[in-house]
Structure 1
Amino acid sequence: MRVWFAVLSRWPLLALHVLGWCAGWGVWLASPTYRRRWRAHTRQAGLSGRARWASIGAAGQQVAELPRLWFGPPVPVGWEGAAHIEAALAQRRGVLFLTPHLGCFEVTPRAYAERFGVPHAAPITVLYRPSRHAALDALLQQARQRPGMAAAPTTLAGVRQLMQALRRGEAVGLLPDQVPPQGLGVWAPFFGRPAYTMTLAARLAQQPGVQVLLAWGQRLPWGRGYVVHVQPWAQAMDEPLATDPAQAAAQINRAMELLIRRCPEQYLWGYARYKSPRESPRALG
């Protein structure tokens, strides 16, 4: 696996995206389970037309671009809303980035680390779920440890790491539409259907002084790179985050829906968002 990642990390983005587009369609055609889930989720969200079909190839592109993002030369990244990050860091307060499984969600923390983490001495810590395969987990840890960026596993120790980063006035990033383990979430609407939703995002957002920013990385066509979009919570939502866990989870799901509707063709509609949570008492969701 490391050899393949090393080889693919040198490929141009355009070539990787073409490879990923083909792979995305190949998986869709080969897996009846994946097709059923994709159909159910896109219909649930009311997605149709070109955006619906484009999401199949985009899902493969998201996987194919990982070697380049993790181990290859830097990729072109533009910004929309970077001033919101600068304003938050100027106040020396913790910043929480909430990002759905939309576009290239691996590029957002890397772009932040390069532009803000090192120059402003305000690194970002991202939450990740350790792989059950030791070799792959080692690869993930290596990929997510770089200057201005650290990774925290979905464990009690990892959550403490996130809390400490926020108290130091640093940044934290997580995917709130990731299904947490049993007992660490609540059922809340997501595109009109109950989905088991983590409460950790709201807990972090409600820490004293923390500023919440919504962010996602848009994949540009023809291998031209990415654009990271940033928007403050208060600008996107018409209400403050509730203190009740169920209400807060529903609000965060609505915020994620707003981002997804901006570019639905790049959302991972095949992700098992509505699955029942697994039991894992040591993990935190």
Structure 2
Amino acid sequence: MLFLFRVLSILPLWLLHLLGWWMGWLTFLASPTYRRRFLANLAQAGYRLREVHQAVGHAGRMVSELPRLWLGGPVRLEWDNEACIEAAYQAGQGIVFLTPHIGCFEVTAQAVAARYGAQYGLLTVMFRPARQPWLAEVVASSRHRPGLDTAPTTLAGVRKMLKAMRRGQAVGLLPDQVPPEGQGLWAPFFGREAYTMTLAARLAQQGGATVLLAWGERLAWGRGYRLHFRGLARPLAPDLAQAVLQINGEMEQLVRECPQQYLWGYARYKQPRKETVDV
């Protein structure tokens, strides 16, 4: 599979996105379970499929673009409000980058690490380890690059993120990712209770770190990505439960700005899994 990824990585981005569009619709039409969850999540947020039907194709593009991003040449990037990143690094208290499952979050982490890693230190991003051995091999060979470090969604990974914050470095994570049992709180997301990680708020409360919202907008016709950055609408609440609720609200706002690129098929309202390994 690594060989296949290398072959796909040489294809132009527009072609990969076209293949991803077909992949997204094929999955939507062929999987009743996925389709029901997709439509239920849309309805929970107040949308109908005809309003955001582009999201079906974008879900497939999220997968099809990975060979190029992991193993291929550079892609075209546009930066929106990057001045807030420089200001946050200059503050010296660390940065917590937050993004929901929207657009291309892979390219956002790569771009920040490449541009700022040499001067300000590693960007540590949290990810869920792949269950398939072949995919784990691909991920391991692609995500370890200059300026970028990774932490798994385990207790060991949580400790790694906390240590990075204590060093005044930057970390990145998806706060709408369902955490393991015991690492979250139940809080409303689009009006329905969802098990929500507390780690994002805890990291931000470590020594006055700056919280920045970030997401990579997928541009049409394979023209690359536009990277969006901004701070919170108001300072993060000191109370943990209130901070979790506030972050959920910020994620909702980001999604509503571009619902066509949100991963509506993600099982956001599932029960948390039990954490059995603590290395």
TM-score interval, normalised by the smaller of the two chains: over 0.9
Match of 1:256 among 251, 256, 278: 251
SS at match of 1:106: helix
* Paired AA for residue 249 in structure 1: V
2:269 matched to 1:282?
A: no
Counterpart contact for 2:154–2:275, Cα < 8 Å: no
Find the aligned partners of 1:88 and 1:126 in 2 and give their Cα distance. 17
Summarize the Cα distance change of 1:110–1:28 in structure 2 as closer, same or farther, 3 Å threshold: same
Unpaired runs of at least 5, structure 2: none
5 Å-filtered alignment, 1:113-124, equals: 113-118=113-118, 120-124=119-123
Find the aligned partners of 2:22 and 2:251 in 1 and give their Cα distance. 28
TM-score by length of 2: 0.96
Find the aligned partners of 1:202 and 1:36 in 2 and give their Cα distance. 31
Find the aligned partners of 1:51 and 1:60 in 2 and give their Cα distance. 18
Deviations 1:202-247 (A, max 9, x none): 11011003110000000000000001100012xxx24x32233322
User: How many residues of Structure 1 are paired with residues of Structure 2 in the alignment?
Assistant: 279
Specify the alignment match of 2:53 in structure 1: 53
- The alpha-carbon deviation at position 163 of structure 1 amounts to 1.6
Find the aligned partners of 1:283 and 1:16 in 2 and give their Cα distance. 38
Counterpart contact for 1:126–1:151, Cα < 8 Å: yes
* Paired AA for residue 54 in structure 1: Q
- The alpha-carbon deviation at position 49 of structure 1 amounts to 5.9
5 Å-filtered alignment, 1:136-285, equals: 136-233=135-232, 237-238=233-234, 240-282=235-277
Specify the alignment match of 1:109 in structure 2: 109
TM-score by length of 1: 0.94
Counterpart contact for 1:187–1:246, Cα < 8 Å: no
Unpaired runs of at least 5, structure 1: none
Find the aligned partners of 2:179 and 2:238 in 1 and give their Cα distance. 19
Summarize the Cα distance change of 1:223–1:55 in structure 2 as closer, same or farther, 3 Å threshold: same
Summarize the Cα distance change of 1:22–1:50 in structure 2 as closer, same or farther, 3 Å threshold: same
- The alpha-carbon deviation at position 50 of structure 1 amounts to 4.8
Find the aligned partners of 1:54 and 1:134 in 2 and give their Cα distance. 32
Deviations 1:175-198 (A, max 9, x none): 000001112111100000100101
Counterpart contact for 2:97–2:170, Cα < 8 Å: yes
Summarize the Cα distance change of 1:283–1:35 in structure 2 as closer, same or farther, 3 Å threshold: farther
Tell me the percent identity.
58
* Paired AA for residue 231 in structure 1: R
Find the aligned partners of 2:12 and 2:131 in 1 and give their Cα distance. 30
Specify the alignment match of 1:89 in structure 2: 89
More displaced stretch, 13-22 vs 44-53: 44-53
Find the aligned partners of 2:152 and 2:49 in 1 and give their Cα distance. 38
